[in-house]
Amino acid sequence: MATRAYWQGQIKLALVSIPVEIYPATKPGAAVSFRQIHEPTGKPIQYEKVVSGVGPVDRDEILKGFELSKGNYVLLEQEEIEAVKIESRKTLDLVQFVEADAIDVLYYEKPYFVVPADDLAEEAYAVLRDALRQTRKVGLGQLSVRGREQLVSLKPCGKGLVLEVLRYADEVNKAQSYFKGLPADTADEDMLDLAVSIIDKKTAPFKPDEFHDRYVDALHRLIDKKKKAKGKRIIEDVDDEPTGRKAGNVIDLMAALKKSAGGAKGTPAKKTATKPKAATKKAAPKRKSA
């Protein structure tokens, strides 16, 4: 468990208050970060706050500005911004409950583990968890953190509860604007059956540790080689199989589906009988011309 909670307070269900602590459920991945380096000296590049025609400026001369039009700003001081921040509250009111599948996946942003703050809170915590599981509902509320309000959902996860920060409606693009040009006709039944059979054969339990970011792995290998090469340039050819089709190459979808269904994982592809090759006489070597 993390040493410091992201939020501490109470989840309120009508007249029942449950003291809880919230911890991040995720952590940064194995991304590789780089610094810009001045090659002649080997020192990192520094960045300065500069104004065009003036040069470097002091931090106490900088204000935040909201651009109304090109080159026209409303200037705000930090004290003015702080004054309008939402007061941090230590209570999360569950104001609504919805079906577990009613929230579109596009709205989910970041998960957190919710744990009871002490032994006395465990009973009420378990009641809320089991009630959500039994009704297959998700609780909704707004959490006040660091001056902002976050829309959140609460649902059971194993023996505990998971809180997920949700995006507001104005943060999500409407899918219709991207999908409206797609045909509404249903897929061909035979092709659909083949696609379903491929999915069935490749269905397996989700094991996230079996998946890796191959780009990050390759970067680490390159860094190790570069370290051993003591700065020498290393360029490697990557033999990747082509994933897309070439322009103008017409694919027979039915044939591709049949081939995929025959060679899908879990079903060995049928072997075709091969006829033995007829014995052929070895040609006599030609005489060299004088």
- CA distance linking residue 232 with residue 202, whole number of Å: 44
Instruction: Return the pLDDT at 37.
Output: 86
Angle between helices 189-201 and 253-263 (to 10 degrees): 30
> What is the distance, to the nearest Å, from the Cα of residue 223 to the centroid of all Cα atoms in its chain?
25
CATH of the domain at 91: 2.40.290.10
Please calculate the CA angle 223-226-231 and round it to the nearest 5 degrees: 135
CA atoms within 13 A on the CB side of 263: 6
The number of residues in the chain equals 290
Residue 75 in domain: no
Please calculate the CA angle 138-8-119 and round it to the nearest 5 degrees: 85
Instruction: Return the pLDDT at 131.
Output: 95
Mean pLDDT for each consecutive 10-residue tract of the chain (290 residues)?
A: 80 90 86 83 86 86 88 86 75 92 92 94 95 95 87 95 94 86 83 87 83 79 80 62 49 80 57 46 47
Residue 95 in domain: yes
Residue 232 in domain: no
pTM (predicted TM-score): 0.67
Residue 144 in domain: yes
**125 is in which domain, residue-wise?**
7-27+85-171
Task: Count how many domains the chain has.
Answer: 1
Instruction: Return the pLDDT at 272.
Output: 44
Residue 48 in domain: no
Instruction: Return the pLDDT at 142.
Output: 92
Tell me the β-bridge partners of 166. 108, 151
Residue 96 in domain: yes
Instruction: Return the pLDDT at 167.
Output: 94
Instruction: Return the pLDDT at 213.
Output: 75
Instruction: Return the pLDDT at 255.
Output: 85
- CA distance linking residue 65 with residue 247, whole number of Å: 48
> Measured between alpha carbons, how far apart are the two ends of the chain, in Å?
90
Residue 240 in domain: no
- CA distance linking residue 243 with residue 262, whole number of Å: 20
Instruction: Return the pLDDT at 264.
Output: 61
